[in-house]
Chain A
């Protein structure tokens, strides 16, 4: 029964054209970034490694599909959450807008089953979007630029051996899903309160934008507060591309995100179960 409900919700999600905005946006943006890297990638690498070029001769290619994928992920990680809110914000509010809540709930399913099925279907959409991003970024990247050792420029310059790259991307996919799941859960949470999807979409977007701006503030005392923002932990997948992975920091960030998902989703389930439904 529950699986049928999830399938039904997935059918609903993929019947709306707004669902495809995310897929189309990624489908357009990723090849554009690939083309830009094809034209300017060499310059980017040269600038990043300028300090070493006075003492070393560089042999072999540093631009490859792995490196480009990481850059794409960094670019898109700020914007993909905005696309996810389009679907998340509509999950419950959309039913209210179209007046189908009561119609659905007179069927022999509990409210809890319905809300969990909707949450699960939305989560599957998020997972598909993340997988689509990786397939396109990594697949097209490897096709255009090939493979090789991966250069990662952060506060230090890391060169990761080719054999050591794919498992890091494997875990990154899982972590990226977790990050996007938090955004989806927030928009799903707000979606349960209102009868129009614009509100939860705009609210989630506003939270993301405000927290991302606050993350950029560089005041010593502020860093403790920044630690509490989920946006600070959303990009912890980059830790996986350090030479020595700080697993403690990685799992702490993952737990904070999981905590957000649990608190917000359970709150939504409880609220929805008791909610007065008038439409």
Chain B
């Protein structure tokens, strides 16, 4: 009996170990793909969709320099999500993490490998769920749970025309606190609208869509651009 239990534990342990090794190998392979990007610059458009925020779509340039310097050059004022810009997947993979594979999942008829990354040293990121297309070695979905800013759900479409893992479209969903203007600060004209907003919960969903085009990859970018 003891022998049977011992063998079972051994089998389970080695299975977990091999799964974990598989997951680590996939993560390493992904990292080497994303590491190919040392610098890039491209055109970018940012569209923000939050119920209480009316902001125009912004178009400008984005510059990235490895390991984690991103600069967005947009005329006037712009807002960038805290997660999901630059080579953010590469940056996530660079974190020292425990990687576990949770098996295969079908998303939009594509078989994806579900990896769970538990960063060991990150101050902000607690957990990352990555969905990997192993055929193309790309991460097409990532759920990033942070310590202070909630969870970001990210969907990525890639540029087919370049040999690097560069996104053409990134959709980021997250939860933001609701905006509640005190009634005393609005006139009678806006009271009903404030009433409507007060009925909504403490939080609401937000979405940001980033589109990238005209990539220039791995060409020297002047440091002064990042200092602006």
A interface residues, Cβ below 8 angstroms from B = 51-52, 54-62, 148-149, 151, 153-162, 215-216, 218, 223, 226-227, 232, 235-236, 238-239, 242-244, 249
Contacts and interface: CB of A to CB of B under 8 A. Distances in A.
Contacts of B72: 59
Contacts of B201: none
Contacts of B76: 60, 148-149, 161-162
Interface of B: 50-56, 72, 74, 76-82, 148-150, 174, 176-179, 181, 183-184, 186-194, 197, 206
B79 A156 contact: no
Given A157-B52, A215-B188, A223-B191, A51 B79 contact: no
Contacts of B52: 155-157
Nearest to A239: B189
Contacts of A159: 53-56, 77
Given A155-B181, A156-B53, A215-B187, A55 B174 contact: yes
A60 B78 CA distance: 6
A60 B74 contact: yes
A158 B48 CA distance: 12
Contacts of A61: 77
A172 to B, nearest CB: 15
B146 to A, nearest CB: 10
Contacts of B192: 223
A98 B189 CA distance: 43
A54 B177 CA distance: 9
A59 B179 contact: no
B80 A59 contact: yes
A51 B178 contact: yes
A157 B191 contact: no
A163 to B, nearest CB: 10
Contacts of B194: 155
Nearest to B188: A226
Nearest to B194: A155
A86 B170 CA distance: 60
Nearest to A63: B77
A162 B52 CA distance: 20
A153 B76 CA distance: 18
A156 B149 contact: no
Nearest to B149: A54
Contacts of B82: 54-57
Contact of B78 (A59, A227, A238): A59
Given A148-B77, A232-B187, 4 more contacts: A156-B179, A157-B53, A159-B53, A249-B189
Contacts of A156: 51-54, 179, 193, 197
A56 B51 CA distance: 15
B80 A155 contact: no
Nearest to B79: A56
A159 to B, nearest CB: 4
A58 B190 contact: no
Contacts of A223: 188, 191-192
A55 B148 CA distance: 10
Contacts of A161: 56, 76
Contacts of B148: 54
A148 B58 CA distance: 13
A73 to B, nearest CB: 13
Contacts of B190: 154-155
B206 A55 contact: yes
Q: Which of B50, B72, B187 lies at the interface centre, i.e. has the most chain A CB atoms within 10 A of its CB?
A: B187
B81 A56 contact: yes
A61 B76 CA distance: 7
Contacts of A215: 187-188
